[in-house]
Structure 1
């Protein structure tokens, strides 16, 4: 299965930005672990701090052989109607993930407008949120 994993703003700072909240693993660490844990899947990884670039990558995925999407939209989860609309157009399985428990943090993080158009949201399991996202995608494909 070809799975695209998109990471939004500030996720390039993983490992150094608020390690007590987001953990000490870097984005490349998480990517390497996923590839080892799921050798039967092909992963494409993309990270951008720019909203429009994230939207373009989602739209490109709809034109190629991408079969599933896992996205950590970062702060755009709570603010970006444009990103939500791009995700809404995706017809293959899609799961939103967050490293921290967005419901246990500041009040403005409690609502994910992007999550409303996803098959599901996994939040609060640190780097394991990504592996749980892959598990969710696998289960969605079995349905």
Structure 2
């Protein structure tokens, strides 16, 4: 099982890069931050970061097969099921902070990107479709009004 918690980071990429190279670049930049961090990651320091997004934390770590409690308003646990060759994503969020539709949209975008990458539909970052067809159609409908 793989858990994700956020570390302050901004990743820039070249749209002409191969997707695999972009992923390796992120991994290469995240690993030293994780290994050398001496931050107390249990308590985000709100308002002290330059980018409000980083009032949350991101840590990538291997977890046991079961996670008993994740004490954050937004958590994503992802793990691979080898028996049926799939990735499972479990998104937990505080309902008072996030709307169900917003979380559904977030998962739809994640699914869209991972499906394209896993099925080798695209190889370059600039070939990725970031919006599922349903969301793209909604935007096009709004633009036609």
Determine which structure has greater relative contact order: mean sequence separation of CA pairs < 8 Å that are 6+ residues apart, divided by chain length.
2
The answer to whether TM tops 0.5 is: no
Q: Which has the larger radius of gyration?
A: 2
User: Normalization by structure 2: what TM-score?
Assistant: 0.31
User: Normalization by structure 1: what TM-score?
Assistant: 0.31
Between Structure 1 and Structure 2, the one with more helix by share is 1
